[in-house]
Amino acid sequence: MPQQAVVLALANQKGGVAKTTTTVNLGVALRQQGYRVLAIDLDPQSNLSMSQGIDVERLETTMFDVLVHGTPLTEVLHVRELDVAAAGIELAGAELALSASIGRERALQRAIAPIRHAYDVILLDTPPSLGLLTINAMVAADGVIVPVQCEYLSLRGLAQLQATLEQVRDNLNPDVGIVGIIPTMYDGRTVHAREAVELLEQSFGDVVYDVRIGKTIRFAEAPVRGSSVLAYDPGGQAARWYRQLAREVIARELRPEREEVRA
């Protein structure tokens, strides 16, 4: 096991593709495998924090303070099914607050450095944009995992994501790339979904994980209870999908001698 946490950003500038759902459920599945997992909420909508039962309106310190004021990450940690660094709506102001500061793209990387030895995996949940918060995640990350909805139009957005990643590589973090693509909300009964995944595999090959996360209402129900699907319905299909994803992520990213497959 590596000495320092492997940092993985969940990113896709499209909203509603299961970034947050994947951060929570992959994180909890890894936790259940014995890994020490921290999930950092970088979305002003705070869905990750809320879905672990954190009352975000009552928080005094959040990721905004960490990024803008240099408050230690340990001060915004909440121990739930996994450790969560919480966000609130004020994070919407972070991009503007950071924009004039030197090293604005490295605020998150700096915040993570002192606690990196305390975890095996750090997952970064990003907002639906390619702005400064997502750039901070790309700079701090060893790799990017992209959840994509199995629809043709969703796949087209990947080119934009790749272009941003290329700029990050050229200027800020030479080693970061897409390490995994996870097809979500997959309905294998439709030709369209099957074709979309085929196209994804033609373009990205082995970077696409083997598991397909299907559609089920469990994913909407669990956060209302402040829990992952693994706790809400441990025997269900939804939990099984994310346990399989966790096994794939462990095999590819968390083994000491990592085989490099990236796009």
**Among residues 104 and 147, whose Cβ is nearest to ligand ADP?**
147
Residues 20-59 that bind Mg ion (CB under 5 A): 20, 47
Task: State yes or no: residue 62 binds ligand ADP (CB under 6 A).
Answer: no
- Nearer Cβ to ligand ADP (25/109): 25
| 102 near ligand ADP, rule: CB under 6 A | no
Q: Is 184 in the site for Mg ion (CB under 5 A)?
A: no
How many angstroms separate the CA atoms of 53 and 26, rounded? 17
Of residues 27 and 116, the one with the C-beta less far from ligand ADP: 27
H/E run at residue 87: none
Q: Mark the segment that binds ligand ADP (CB under 6 A) among 16-24, 53-61, 71-79, 193-201.
A: 16-24
Sorted by sequence, the CB contacts under 8 Å of residue 62 that are 6+ apart come out as 56, 76, 86, 87, 88, 90, 91
Please pick, from the candidates 5, 7, 17, 19, the single residue that binds Mg ion as defined by CB under 5 A: 19
Record the tokens describing residue 239, joined without a space. Answer: 């939990």
Where on the phi/psi map is residue 214: left (φ > 0), alpha (ψ -120 to 50), or beta? beta
CA distance 50 to 52: 5
Show the site string, 178-217: x = touches ligand ADP by CB under 6 A, - = not: ------xx---------------------------x-xx-
CB nearer ligand ADP, residue 38 or residue 146:
146
25 binds ligand ADP (CB under 6 A): no
Helix and strand numbers (H, E) in the chain are: 12, 7
Whole-angstrom distance, CA of residue 106 vs CA of residue 133 = 10
Binding partner at 215 among ligand ADP, Mg ion, none, C-beta below 5 to 8 Å by kind: ligand ADP
Please name the amino acid found at residue 169: R
The interface partner of residue 71, options being Mg ion, ligand ADP, none and the CB cut-off 5 to 8 Å by kind, is none
Cα distances (Å, whole numbers) of residue 72 to 67, 91, 116: 9, 16, 12
Q: Which residues bind ligand ADP (CB under 6 A)?
A: 15-21, 47, 128, 184-185, 213, 215-216, 219-220
